[in-house]
Chain A
């Protein structure tokens, strides 16, 4: 029992570690460290605010580079040209349609619509049918 008590006492003495302590310089050092850290945050903040801009710029460059070097780039380019050509055709067709409509409007009212629309083959067919 006595032995057990002395063991417990030694363990408690060891764990308490009361003989060790820090000197007064420690407090001064920590305060100096804090002061030096306080001066730094402005730079830190700048870094943080610039970081997303740099990342976004880099990502944009990468994307642009990828598009330029991509094998589908020519296909994309030619399809774009095709679309623009079609667009120009649509506009010219639009003009011709307008002219045709104006011509149609200029036709006399008494003109028979059916006779105007019949083509030569239609007449041959009507003859064959004794129309």
Chain B
């Protein structure tokens, strides 16, 4: 499996595509080029985009939803949505900004759906888990953090995950979440304090 960041793109092939998109080919990143190729009907480019981003998206959803199956399903839906909107895609910002904006929109929809369906809370599952179904591979402090993430509002967990997992700048996170940078900083700070307090309580 090759990494998309090391692809070599033929400039003669790129020129008409970048012209069509209204951008100079040298301004485009590898991901932008892959998106233009997808818009042109290139299945190989779609496969490359999936291989490059699937684990990043899956880890983000897995920590946000604390459910592997749902995380996998949402990751799949992000790629399908990207494929469907490839013809309208304009490489205005970094591809990761676009990708995680789509991901966050789907995450919010999923959380709303869950709230409507009144799914049993993760907290209840965790209590049951501690009553004797404990898997030795999972550390206790990770379970505590799972519950702490569950207690957080979505915007706190998304902000801290984008910062720690993706190492995005505050500016990029602000762009994805459509808020100011200062608000993003506050959310990340509060999220970290909440997670710390949960662990400190355990270790006291």
**A→B interface (CB under 8 Å):** 3, 7-8, 10-12, 14-18, 20-22, 24, 26-27, 29-31, 33-34, 37
**B59 lies within 8 A of A18 (CB):** yes
Contact check, A31 vs B55: say whether CB atoms are below 8 A apart.
no
Interface of A is mostly: helix
Decide: A11 and B54 in contact? CB cutoff 8 A. no
Query: Shortest Cβ distance from B173 into chain A, in angstroms?
Result: 14
B145 engages A21 (CB within 8 Å): no
The count of residues in chain B whose C-beta lies closer than 8 Å to any C-beta of chain A is 33
Closest to B195 in A: A11
4 shortest interchain CB distances as A-B pairs: A15-B164, A17-B59, A21-B55, A27-B50
Chain B residues in 8 Å Cβ range of A21:
55, 58-59
Q: Which residues of B contact A (CB under 8 A)?
A: 1, 43, 46-47, 50-51, 54-55, 58-59, 62-63, 68, 72, 75-76, 79-80, 83-84, 141-142, 145, 160-161, 164-165, 192, 195-196, 199-200, 203
Contact of A37 among B63, B80, B200 (CB under 8 A): B80
Contact B54 A22 (CB under 8 A): yes
Q: Is the interface of B mostly helix, strand, loop or mixed?
A: helix
> In the bound complex, what is the Cα–Cα distance between A56 and B83 (angstroms)?
34
Instruction: Select the residue from A8, A17, A24, A26 with max chain B CB neighbours within 10 A.
Output: A17
Instruction: Say whether A30 contacts B59, CB under 8 Å.
Output: no
CB distance from B190 to the nearest CB of A (A): 13
CA distance A21 to B55 in the complex (A): 5
Report the minimum CB–CB distance from A24 to chain B (whole Å).
7
B46 touches A34 (CB 8 A): yes
A15 close to B160 (CB less than 8 A): yes
Give which listed residue, A7, A22, A27, A29, contacts B200 with CB less than 8 A: A7
In the complex with contacts A7-B200, A14-B145, A34-B83, A26-B59 CB distance below 8 A: no
Given A15-B160, A15-B161; A10-B199 close (CB under 8 Å): yes
Give 14 A-B pairs besides A11-B145, A14-B195 with Cβ atoms closer than 8 angstroms: A10-B199, A11-B196, A14-B63, A16-B59, A17-B63, A22-B58, A26-B50, A26-B72, A26-B75, A29-B76, A31-B46, A31-B47, A33-B80, A34-B83
Q: Which residue of B lies closest to A10 (CB)?
A: B141
A120 to B63, CA, bound (A): 114
The residues of B that contact A22 with a CB separation of less than 8 Å are 54-55, 58, 72, 75
How far does the Cβ of B198 sit from chain A's closest Cβ, in whole Å?
9
